[in-house]
């Protein structure tokens, strides 16, 4: 709380992660996005009488992996509960979820934030309440815009496995909420838990928001509002900002605090840029939870938990640390690579394993490889040059076989002629390594033609040698600029030019 904002915003996020399974949580219906409405359904996910669920073991594996990465306590025994409510896109009249024995409990996620006193960038640890498995509902399609007054139901999504990750109310700004969701999505994608496609609903968030205000030396909290189904980072940020302002205005008008007014569920209208009242929020008692009689409890073995641990060792946080400490990358460089996902990190690590220097590998990854991926809207798996080949090219530059400019030309040649080796690319460009004696003769000639450079270097201005690179290239396009400057510097220092 500061002088410009007379309240503290308190935010808790519920993130719904669609697990990357081929089939649904309790049946063998497919989970691909984009199929024609109601074509990926069966008696189980339609809730037809007599149909019995069968658990998808892959969903348990992915949930445990996520829990390990989030430092959660993994329950040795977890069970299923029925969450009862009636809605058109919930065909069974209940959702199979987890109530009092979730598969993951506690844990935390670290995010980028700012020190509340100094404003300096810092890391903040957001505690988690739990992460539990549940099945998704279907989708209601409202076509008022198209001039239709009806609502149609698509149940393809009904039964899709979700992991709901619930944070403590420890986020204190719209920026932190956005950073939390960004980091959560990156972690889940990094570990292969979800594809993270928010436009397709693979990752959605609900935000619980209220305000803390100081009045007469006491802290007063406004009623909590849940904002539903935020499906973009920008939507989370905008919704929290709008809702904070709206709640403060309402409090000034009514003075109602938490407990004096029912909880609300509000929807985010992205086009209007505002939250809209949907209903008063239910408490857990309203859902009439009870153990699902059709599913047995799940008992996890130590072996299963250990396998999950081994699959969750490389996280964005550990990768950032390794890139900075082991390879001496700048934090901004490490972040740029990490944000592109695990496959990009593996490509970079392969470059270094094959002998490319981390500094040069980083420069080429950020300036050339990622630019190609962005311009062609593709992923690293489709990059036409393998890591081993690019490493050979970088090593050739490092060894002085060709300079950076000619190296870029070889790179372009290899991109447009897939399968072309580094050696063939260099050969096709007419690049030949210049003999050391030939190079020294060339440097002596350059110094003789540019006496002013000699005087500047002797006066302590070594940067003047850079002016000799252009003339050297005109005499022999294959010379290495670095070698030219080094030899000229040595000749001037020894007076043997």
Q: Are 184 and 15 in contact (CB under 8 A)?
A: yes
The last residue of one of the domains, among 268, 299, 330, is 299
Q: Is residue 275 part of a domain?
A: no
Q: Are 210 and 6 in contact (CB under 8 A)?
A: no
Q: What is the pLDDT of residue 309?
A: 95
Reported as a single tens digit per residue, the pLDDT across 318-335 is: 999 999 999 999 999 999
**CATH at 464:** 1.10.10
Residues 479 and 450 in one domain: yes
Cα end-to-end span (Å), the chain? 70
Residues 364 and 442 in one domain: no
**Rounded distance, CA 470 to CA 475, Å?**
9
Residue 7 token pair: 């309240």
Residue 292 token pair: 């699902």
How far CA 366 is from CA of 49, 333, 339, 371, in Å, comes to 57, 8, 12, 7
Q: What is the pLDDT of residue 415?
A: 95
Residues 419 and 451 in one domain: no
Alpha helices by DSSP H, listed for 342-385, are 342-353, 358-364, 370-375
Q: What is the pLDDT of residue 339?
A: 94
In the chain (497 residues long), the average pLDDT of successive 10-residue segments reads 77 98 98 96 95 97 98 97 92 96 98 85 95 96 68 94 98 96 97 95 96 91 93 94 96 93 91 90 80 96 94 95 96 96 96 97 97 96 96 91 88 92 86 74 91 91 91 84 88 85
Q: What is the pLDDT of residue 477?
A: 79
Q: What is the pLDDT of residue 483?
A: 82
Q: What is the pLDDT of residue 175?
A: 95
Q: What is the pLDDT of residue 432?
A: 61
Domain that holds residue 441: 436-494
Residues 340 and 484 in one domain: no
Residues in the chain: 497
Return the exposure string of 144-176: e unless at least 16 CB atoms fall within 10 Å of the residue's CB, then b.
eeeeeeeeebbbbbbbbbbbbbbbebbbbbbbb
Residues 396 and 445 in one domain: no
Q: Are 412 and 372 in contact (CB under 8 A)?
A: no
Residues 199 and 87 in one domain: yes
């Amino acid at each position: 709380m500061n002088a410009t904002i007379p309240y503290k915003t308190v935010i808790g996020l519920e993130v719904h992660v669609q697990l990357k399974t081929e089939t649904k949580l309790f049946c063998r219906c497919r989970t691909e996005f984009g199929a024609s409405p109601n074509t990926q359904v069966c008696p189980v996910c339609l809730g037809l009488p007599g149909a019995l669920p069968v658990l998808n073991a892959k969903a348990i594996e992915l949930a445990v992996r996520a829990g390990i990465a989030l430092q959660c306590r993994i329950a040795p025994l977890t069970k299923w509960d029925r969450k009862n409510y009636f809605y058109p896109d919930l065909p069974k009249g209940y959702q199979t979820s987890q109530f009092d024995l979730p598969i993951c409990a506690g844990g935390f996620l670290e995010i980028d934030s700012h020190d509340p006193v100094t404003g300096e960038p810092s890391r903040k640890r957001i505690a988690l309440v739990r992460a539990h498995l549940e099945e998704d509902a279907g989708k209601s399609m409202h076509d008022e815009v198209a001039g239709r007054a009806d609502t149609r139901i698509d149940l393809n999504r009904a039964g899709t496995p979700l992991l709901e990750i619930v944070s403590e109310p420890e986020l204190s700004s719209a920026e932190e909420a956005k950073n939390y969701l960004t980091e959560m999505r990156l972690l889940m994608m990094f570990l292969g838990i979800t594809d993270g496609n928010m436009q397709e609903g693979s990752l959605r968030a609900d935000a619980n928001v209220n305000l803390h205000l100081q009045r007469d030396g006491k802290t007063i909290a406004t009623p909590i509002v849940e904002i539903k189904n935020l499906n973009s980072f920008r939507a989370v940020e905008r919704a929290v900002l709008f809702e904070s302002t709206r709640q403060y205005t309402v409090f000034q008008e009514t003075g109602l605090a938490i407990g004096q007014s029912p909880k609300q569920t509000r929807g985010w209208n992205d086009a209007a840029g505002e939250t809209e009242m949907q209903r008063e929020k239910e408490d857990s008692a309203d859902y009439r939870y009870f153990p699902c009689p059709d599913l047995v409890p799940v008992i996890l073995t130590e072996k299963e938990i250990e396998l999950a641990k081994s699959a969750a060792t490389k996280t964005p946080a550990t990768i950032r640390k390794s890139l900075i400490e082991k390879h001496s990358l700048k934090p901004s460089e490490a972040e740029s690579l990490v944000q592109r996902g695990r496959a990009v990190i593996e490509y970079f690590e392969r470059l270094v394993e094959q002998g490319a220097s981390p500094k040069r590998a980083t420069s080429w990854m950020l300036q050339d490889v990622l630019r190609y991926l962005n311009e062609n809207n593709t992923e690293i798996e489709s990059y036409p040059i393998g890591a081993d080949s690019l490493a050979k090219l970088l090593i050739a530059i490092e060894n002085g076989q060709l300079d950076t400019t000619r190296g870029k030309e070889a790179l372009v040649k290899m991109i447009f002629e897939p399968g072309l080796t580094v050696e063939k690319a260099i050969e096709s460009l007419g690049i030949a390594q210049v003999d050391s004696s030939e190079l020294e003769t060339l440097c002596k000639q350059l110094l003789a033609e540019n006496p002013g450079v000699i005087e500047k270097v002797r006066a302590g201005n070594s940067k003047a040698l850079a002016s000799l690179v252009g003339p050297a290239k005109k005499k022999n396009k294959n010379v290495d600029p670095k070698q030219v400057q080094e030899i000229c510097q040595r000749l001037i220092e020894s007076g043997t030019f």
